[in-house]
Structure 1
Amino acid sequence: MLAVGENPITTSEHGLSSALLAALSGEVPAPFAVERFAPLPAAGPSERAITVDQTNLSVVVDERVVVKWLTPPAALPHPAPAVLGHLVRAGFTDTAPPYAAVTTDSHLVALVTGFLPGARDGWEWCIDFCETGEVTFAGRLGTLAADLHVALATLPSPTPAAPMRAPEPERAAARAEQALSEALRLTEGEDGEWLASVAHRMKADLAMPGRVTGPIRIHGDFHVGQILQWDGGYAVIDFDGNPTLDGAEPYQPRERDVAQMTTSLEHVAQVAIKRRQTPTGRAHAWAAEAREQFLAAYRERLPLDESLLKPYEVEQECRELIYAARHLPRWRYAPMGVLKGRY
């Protein structure tokens, strides 16, 4: 475990995850500490890594427990432990059962949660739905998103001296324009030339309204890949914040999460077009209908500030381009496809 801090864990580290679970049953040695959310079930030694694209490494132990190793360990304070503990107290159950967080005095090393039987990653099941034209799932996701926000709205800021407030519109607009500038700088070749040709239109769409809705603790990285379809329905996972935005404010308008989910539905359509040869028009029509059903279900539970959706959606596509340039170059086609459809 000491080596994890220096060399990010890989799938070759067989046995480390089950050894961690065994260690959690006894006294945890320094310099590690454990925050426990619920009793940990017994688990055998079998392990398998979850191989979908993700920033960290998740290992399933004995088909009962998932150990997510932060690669590399994340500096404290980290949002996940506080959020997971709060969701347990708030009675929100549409997530993988949280069991424990393993930290040092300065870093979050691993998160331990329950394994959901039959779980499939959103980048699998949602692309299947796009291919077949299934959209009724979107209403269930809208309800789940609203229920999550109801639970998170009661999580107080860890710094009472700095009261929760929405970012000033000017500040939010400046951050969005900075994302556009960064996307323009990092996107090369023909895509970069095309992006520069529509940058003035994108900048206009990034304009924020004069006032924004009150902030709550949001998920921060809310897309279909964070939604597992499992034998019991759907579950939201991964409360680590947005990897495309350094220093993101955890308390923001709910519409930030909503816009991240709606853009991800459009990304699903792009993946289906590229990887499944789904006809372009049919994939785009699916994304539009899924978006509307998601928003309609959300509105039935909570109000939405519709004026925030477009600027947040465009900003998110800029951040997807930044993420692709820095971490996953092959992903660039998805946000570029969405932007070309929009502009």
Structure 2
Amino acid sequence: MVVGESVVVKWLTPPVPLPHPTPDIFAHLVDSGFNDTAPPYAALTGVLDGREHLLALITGYLPEARDGWEWCVDEAVAGTTSFAAELGRLAADLHLALSTLPTTGEAPAADRAYRALAEALELTGDDWLTGQAGTMRRELAVLETPITTPLIRIHGDLHVGQILQWRDGYAVIDFDGNPTIADAASCQPAARDVAQLTTSLEHVAQVAIKRRSVPPGRAAEWAGQAREILLTAYKHRLAARNRPDLLDETLIRPFEVEQECRELIYAARHLPRWRYAPMGVLRTWYGADPRKENNA
């Protein structure tokens, strides 16, 4: 709810039992000087059934804000990629701030990614996808190697829809974690967020193909260029802050593959019309014609 073009009240329905990650992250981002988000003002809590719950989050209103499923699709249609450097910088600054929070938990294991692939295959029932399963498993196998990169608090659901373009620039929002994974660890390699962000650029390209009639080849080229610009800016920012160790690039591809599996699971369970996006991405990666999905 937008109140007087001054504040935004996000009601959690249903209310979520505490502890919840967002209030602590908001406080830490303020202390760390990270300002590329909607200004956090307050968290409203209350006791329900004898336990304290988070009822609402109150943040500042960002004038002329549009989320990435609007503004980024416009960039894909126009074929422009200059925005990607700013997103890379923003993601790096976010991770630099979050990396100073206390960490807990263990590095993600490959078996979880393999389970996501198996579930995606079962729910999708697609012969072409089944034919790619061996290749996908080989790409996921990187996760069987012990992960040595630092585990940090991550955003957990970092896609372009969580990045607002507003009057004064860009802002990342929604620190509630991934709503489709009940047991997602709060501390993971930064590459997990990076992979979600890069795959979301691929999804934008699929949206541009299906909804805006952008030729598939041009959309794929745009996504590839935007991805490389984003990653380059992200790595340069980490290096400038003496923290290149935060990113293990070998983890990006397996996390991207796992993310597409989770997108297929989400589509099958909650939003069937979304299936075209992850299937279009996978067909682009593995050599099939993405128009088979976008014309479905």
Alignment of 1:140-155 (within 5 A): 140-155=86-101
Instruction: Describe the superposition over 1:18-41 as per-residue Cα deviations: whole angstroms up to 9, x where unpaired.
Output: xxxxxxxxxxxxxxxxxxxxxxxx
Correspondences of 1:1-40 after superposition (within 5 Å): none
The amino acid of 1:318's aligned partner reads: C
**Aligned match of 2:232 in 296, 303, 328?**
296
Aligned with residue 139 of structure 2, among 200, 205, 226: 205
Match among 166, 172, 192 for residue 256 of structure 1: 192
TM superposition outliers: structure 1 runs of 4+ over 6 Å: none
Deviations 1:126-169 (A, max 9, x none): 00000001101000000011100111111124xxxxxx3551xx
> How far, CA to CA, are the matches of 2:101 and 2:24 in structure 1?
9
Q: Is the 8 A contact 1:166 1:214 kept in 2?
A: no
Equivalents in 2 of 1:193, 1:113: separation in Å?
Answer: 46
TM-score (norm 2): 0.89
**2:2 match:** 60
Provide the aligned C-alpha RMSD in A: 1.3
Residues 138 and 293 of structure 1 are in contact (CA less than 8 Å); yes or no, is this contact kept in structure 2?
yes
Tell me, in whole angstroms, the C-alpha distance in 2 between the residues paired with 1:165 and 1:324.
Answer: 29
Q: Output the TM-score relative to the length of structure 1.
A: 0.77
Residue in 1 that maps onto 2:249: 306
> In 2, Cα distance between the equivalents of 1:253 and 1:233?
27
Task: List alignment gaps of at least 5 residues for structure 1.
Answer: 1-58, 158-163
Kindly tell me: are residues 215 and 266 of structure 1, through their superposed partners in 2, closer, same or farther at Cα, counting changes over 3 Å? same
The Cα shift of 1:308 comes to 0.3
**Where is the helix percentage greater, Structure 1 or Structure 2?**
2
> Given residue 83 of structure 1, which amino acid in structure 2 is its aligned partner?
I
Give the Cα–Cα distance (whole angstroms) in 1 for the partners of residues 3 and 78 of structure 2: 33
Identity %: 66
- Kindly provide the amino acid, as one letter, of the partner of residue 331 in structure 1: W
The answer to whether residue 122 in structure 2 is matched with residue 185 in structure 1 is yes
The answer to whether the 8 A contact 1:220-1:241 is kept is yes
Aligned match of 1:96: 38
1:172 equivalent among 109, 112, 130: 109
SS in 1 for 2:81: coil
- Give the Å deviation of 1:193: 2.2
Which residue does 1:134 correspond to in 2? 80
User: Residue 229 of structure 1: CA displacement?
Assistant: 0.3
Counterpart CA distance in 2 for 1:229 and 1:70 is: 24
| Pairwise CA distance, 1:212 | 3.3
Corresponding residue for residue 15 of structure 2? 73
Q: Encode CA deviations 1:61-91: one digit per residue, 9 max, x unaligned.
A: 1111111122222232211111111111111
Give, in angstroms, the shift of residue 327 of structure 1: 1.7
Residue 28 (structure 2) pairs with residue 86 (structure 1):
yes
Equivalenced residue count is 273
Q: What is the DSSP-based 3-state SS (H/G/I as helix, E as strand, rest coil) of the residue aligned with 2:109?
A: helix
Q: CA contact under 8 A between 2:2 and 2:61: conserved in structure 1?
A: yes
* Contact 1:166–1:212 (8 Å) recurs in 2: no
Assess, with a 3 A threshold, how the Cα gap between structure 1 residues 195 and 212 changes in structure 2: closer, same or farther.
Answer: farther
- Tell whether the 8 Å contact from 1:269 to 1:284 is kept in structure 2 after alignment: yes
| Partner SS for 1:66 | strand
| Other-structure match for 1:55 | none
Pick 1 or 2: higher relative contact order, CA cutoff 8 A, min separation 6.
2
Distance 1:234 1:141, change over 3 A: same
- Give yes or no for contact 2:105–2:185 (8 Å, CA) kept in 1: no
2:266 maps to amino acid:
Y
